[in-house]
Each structure stands twice: as structure tokens, then as C-alpha cells.
């Protein structure tokens, strides 16, 4: 399987590696600049704001443009923007660069999902998504450790520049991939208000028709967005509550990759034995439990154990949901639905992250994070019950059940 898809796995995997290096470096850069939980949380808000604004028109452009070229342009633009990041010491300029970078990302995400949906046959999708998740997990393991090494021998700026390099390499790899679109599929039309309105009507019709898919999407994303909001306080919790050093912070985060690699390998190994539904419901439930246990950790040892469990469970969760999405959303509207769903997800992420950040400033960070983790578990349980209901079995595709 890996040899069959080695080029696309390498390109995306190398980009993931750079993202994790950048995440550690950026967290430390902002922490040393502000030492504020609210400022740290704002890093996770800038992206969703950019994606919300872009989502109004991105999908209409994506579905009418060559997705492979869009991915290449997006990576090049992001690489250039990340190169500029270390040249500023202003937190507001950092937010501006992140804002523009996330606008480019708004075009990459739905385009890459379309490409995978067309390039990978249905029978290989769950295995491929698990392996891609394993590459992402490997980056999760290696990235923070590599970031710590780069920072130790140089500085945070060099670590951020490494991330820029990974975008350029990913763009080159995508250029080398085979074309999956016919000329007839790519219909270039001027983007007008009337066209945008028609596109939203098409997406609304799909959502109204596929109610089982819509409910799974909302329950799943509700739980996951709370988890992502918790990510915004990860560095603060490790440094403030667990009193870890910068280097130990990188080590703790990277250890999650150990579990994620194990989970990715297991998810790929059993992709043909277990259904997509099982991957989603059990993976999400155990993922939210692991998040909650991490923030309940009284010491570094417990935090590491929770992180390893988190890595394993999230591998199954992500592989299942990616397959579910690719099988459920028609490729003809994948860009438009992807943009609309990104808007919904981003709004949820902003709300949850802002509320979490403010509550963490007013009350105990640990208690607030445990509360949010418990709410995410409730969302996961609701999804579990729904996906085992009669309506879900009747409404889901055979490949998912």
C-alpha cells in the first residue's frame, strides 16, 4: 500500500512534519513574547477567522478550478508567508501572517480531499487514510523533537524557516503527481453573487437530503472542535501546571506520536476487518476521554500516558472520519461543501476557544479544561448512540456500516 501511493504520502507527510515543527516553535515564540494564555489561544482563533471569511467564495472557485494547481499555489504562498514570520516581534503582525497563511490553507484542504477521493479507489480509502494518518503521526512524533533539536542548536526562527521549506517540497511533489481531473470537469466561470447563491442552494439541498450524514458531521465536529479548543491551552498547561521546561514540552508532545504511529499502523492493519462506523464511534469516544485524562494529569508521567492513548485513539478516529467524508460527499460539490463545512467548523472552534481562553483566565485552567473534555465526551456518546440507531444503519452506505 505504501509503495503504491509513496509519492503522495511523502509529499503530505513532509508537509505534516513542517507543521509540527512550526507549531512548537510558534507556541514558544508567542509564549516568550506575551506569557498570556489568551494570546496563546488567539493563535488558534486567527486561522478559523480567515477560513470563515474565505469560505464564502473558496468552494465556488475550487469546484471550477484545477485542484492540483490550487494545492501547488497554496503551498508556495504559505511557504513564502512562513518565511516572513520570524522577521517580526509584534504579536499583531504574527497574527496577520497567520491570517494570510490560513486563507491559502482554505483552498488546499478541500482540494486535497478531492484529489484523494479521485486518486484512491474506494476499497483502498480506509487503508490509505490510516497510512496517511500514520505519516501524520510520525510527524507528530518527530516534529516536536526535531523542533527542540533545531531550537537547541540554533533558534526558534530557524525552526519556522524549516516549515517554509516543507511547503515548497510539498508543492514540488504535488506537481509530480498524476492528473485526476478531465478538462470537462473544470469549468471556469466568473464568480458572481448569483453564482454564489446558486452554489449555496446546491449545498443546502445536499445537507437536507443527506440527514444522516449531516447529523454525524455535526456530532463529530462538535466533539472534535472542543478537543481542538483544548489544544490551545496545551502548552500553557504543560508549562504552567506541570512546570515543564521548553525542551521537556517538546518531548512530551512528541511522545504522543509514539501512540499515534502505533495507532496508525493498527488502523491500517485492520482497515478491512472493521467498519468505518466502528472506527469513528469508538475512536472519537476514546479520543475525547484521553483529552480529558491529559488535563486531569497531576504529573508529567500521567500526562505522557494520556498522550500516548490519545495518539492511538485519534488514528482510528481520523481514518474513519476521512473515509466517511470521502465516500459520502460527491466530488462534484466537494469544494463547495468543504468550504461551507469549514465555515461551520471554524465558527465552532472560535466560540469554544474564546470561551475556554476567557474561563482559563478567570478560573483554574485545569478545572476548565476537564469540564470542556467532559462536554466533548457527551458529544461522542450522542454520536455513538446515533450511529447504532436504525435510521443510521438505513441511511449510511454499505461501505461505512
More confidently predicted of 302 and 1 = 302
What confidence score (pLDDT) does residue 340 get? Answer: 81
- Distance in Å from the first CA to the final CA of the chain: 23
Distance between CA atoms of 292 and 311, rounded to whole angstroms? Answer: 13
Give per-residue burial for 257-290: e unless 16+ CB within 10 Å, then b: bbbbbbbbbbbbeebeeebbbbbbbbbbbbbbbb
Within 10 angstroms of residue 41's Cβ, the number of other Cβ atoms is 22
Within 10 angstroms of residue 202's Cβ, the number of other Cβ atoms is 16
Across 117-131, 151-165, 242-256, least confident range? 242-256
Instruction: Tell me the mean pLDDT in the region 217-230.
Output: 86
The conformational region for residue 35 under phi > 0 = left, psi -120 to 50 = alpha, else beta, is left
High-pLDDT (> 90) share of the chain, %: 5
What confidence score (pLDDT) does residue 254 get? Answer: 65
239 and 363 Cβ atoms separated by less than 8 Å:
no
What confidence score (pLDDT) does residue 339 get? Answer: 79
Distance between CA atoms of 303 and 285, rounded to whole angstroms? Answer: 18
pLDDT digits (tens, 9 = 90+) for 27-54: 777 777 777 777 777 777 787 788 778 8
What confidence score (pLDDT) does residue 141 get? Answer: 67
pLDDT digits (tens, 9 = 90+) for 304-347: 888 888 888 888 888 888 888 888 888 888 888 887 887 777 77
Distance between CA atoms of 151 and 162, rounded to whole angstroms? Answer: 11
pLDDT at 395 over 70: no
Residue 195 is inside which H or E element, if any? helix 193-209
Q: Tell me which residue of 180, 183, 162 sits closest to 64, measured CA to CA.
A: 183
213 and 28 Cβ atoms separated by less than 8 Å:
no
pTM listed for this prediction: 0.75
Assign 382 a pLDDT band (cuts: 50, 70, 90). very high
List of E strands, 102-189: none
Radius of gyration of the chain measured on its C-alpha atoms:
20
Mean pLDDT of the residues in the chain: 80
List of E strands, 11-68: none
pLDDT digits (tens, 9 = 90+) for 251-270: 776 676 677 788 888 888 88
Topology of the domain comprising 6-178+193-395: Growth Hormone; Chain: A; (1.20.1250)
pLDDT at 5 over 70: yes
What confidence score (pLDDT) does residue 184 get? Answer: 47
Instruction: Tell me the mean pLDDT in the region 226-255.
Output: 73
Give per-residue burial for 113-123: e unless 16+ CB within 10 Å, then b: bbbbbbbbeee
Distance between CA atoms of 142 and 41, rounded to whole angstroms? Answer: 24
277 and 400 Cβ atoms separated by less than 8 Å:
yes
pLDDT at 271 over 60: yes
Distance between CA atoms of 223 and 208, rounded to whole angstroms? Answer: 22
Q: What angle do CA 14, 321, 70 make, to 5 degrees?
A: 45
Within 10 angstroms of residue 21's Cβ, the number of other Cβ atoms is 30
What does the domain layout of the chain look like in residue ranges? 6-178+193-395
Q: How many residues does the chain have?
A: 401
What confidence score (pLDDT) does residue 399 get? Answer: 56
171 and 70 Cβ atoms separated by less than 8 Å:
no
Rounded to whole angstroms, what are the CA distances from 368 to 38, 230, 238? 14, 10, 15
Instruction: Tell me the mean pLDDT in the region 71-81.
Output: 88
Q: What angle do CA 276, 128, 105 make, to 5 degrees?
A: 100
DSSP 187: -
Distance between CA atoms of 140 and 133, rounded to whole angstroms? Answer: 10
212 and 391 Cβ atoms separated by less than 8 Å:
yes
User: CB neighbours of 241 closer than 8 A, spacing ≥ 6?
Assistant: 365, 366
Assign 149 a pLDDT band (cuts: 50, 70, 90). confident
Amino acid at each position: 500500500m505504501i509503495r503504491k501511493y509513496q509519492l503522495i504520502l511523502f509529499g503530505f507527510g513532509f508537509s505534516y512534519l513542517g507543521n509540527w515543527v512550526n507549531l512548537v516553535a510558534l507556541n514558544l515564540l508567542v509564549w516568550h513574547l506575551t506569557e498570556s494564555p489568551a494570546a496563546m489561544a488567539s493563535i488558534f482563533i486567527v486561522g478559523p477567522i480567515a477560513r470563515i471569511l474565505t469560505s464564502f467564495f473558496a468552494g465556488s472557485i475550487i469546484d471550477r478550478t484545477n485542484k492540483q494547481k490550487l494545492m501547488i499555489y497554496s503551498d508556495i504562498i504559505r511557504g513564502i508567508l512562513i518565511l516572513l514570520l520570524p522577521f517580526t516581534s509584534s504579536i499583531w503582525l504574527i497574527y496577520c501572517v497567520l491570517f494570510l497563511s490560513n486563507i491559502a490553507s482554505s483552498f488546499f484542504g478541500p482540494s486535497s480531499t478531492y484529489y484523494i477521493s479521485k486518486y484512491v479507489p474506494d476499497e483502498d480509502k480506509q487503508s490509505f487514510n490510516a497510512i496517511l494518518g500514520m505519516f501524520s503521526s510520525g510527524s507528530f512524533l518527530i516534529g516536536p523533537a526535531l523542533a527542540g533539536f533545531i531550537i537547541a542548536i540554533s533558534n526558534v526562527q530557524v525552526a519556522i524557516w524549516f516549515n517554509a521549506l516543507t511547503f515548497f517540497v510539498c508543492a514540488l511533489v504535488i506537481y509530480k503527481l498524476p492528473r485526476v481531473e478531465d478538462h470537462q470537469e473544470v469549468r471556469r466561470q466568473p464568480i458572481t453573487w448569483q453564482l454564489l447563491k446558486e452554489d449555496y442552494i446546491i449545498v443546502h439541498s445536499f445537507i437536507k437530503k443527506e440527514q444522516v450524514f449531516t447529523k454525524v458531521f455535526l456530532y463529530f465536529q462538535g466533539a472534535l472542535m472542543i478537543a481542538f479548543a483544548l489544544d490551545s491551552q496545551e502548552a500553557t498547561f504543560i508549562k504552567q501546571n506541570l512546570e515543564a521546561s521548553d525542551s521537556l514540552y517538546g518531548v512530551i508532545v512528541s511522545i504522543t506520536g509514539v501512540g499515534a504511529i502505533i495507532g496508525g499502523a493498527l488502523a491500517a492493519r485492520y482497515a478491512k476487518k472493521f467498519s468505518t462506523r466502528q472506527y469513528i464511534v469508538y475512536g472519537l469516544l476514546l479520543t475525547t476521554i484521553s483529552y480529558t485524562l491529559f488535563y486531569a494529569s497531576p504529573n508529567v508521567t500521567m500526562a505522557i500516558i494520556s498522550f500516548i492513548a490519545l495518539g492511538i485513539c485519534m488514528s482510528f478516529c481520523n481514518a474513519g472520519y476521512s473515509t466517511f467524508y470521502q465516500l459520502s460527499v460527491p466530488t462534484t460539490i466537494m469544494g463547495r461543501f468543504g468550504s461551507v463545512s469549514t465555515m461551520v467548523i471554524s465558527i465552532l472552534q472560535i466560540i469554544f476557544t474564546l470561551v475556554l481562553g476567557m474561563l482559563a483566565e478567570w478560573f483554574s485552567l485545569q478545572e476548565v479544561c476537564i469540564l470542556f473534555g467532559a462536554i466533548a465526551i457527551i458529544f461522542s456518546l450522542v454520536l455513538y448512540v446515533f450511529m447504532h440507531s436504525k435510521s443510521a444503519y438505513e441511511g449510511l452506505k454499505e461501505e461505512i456500516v
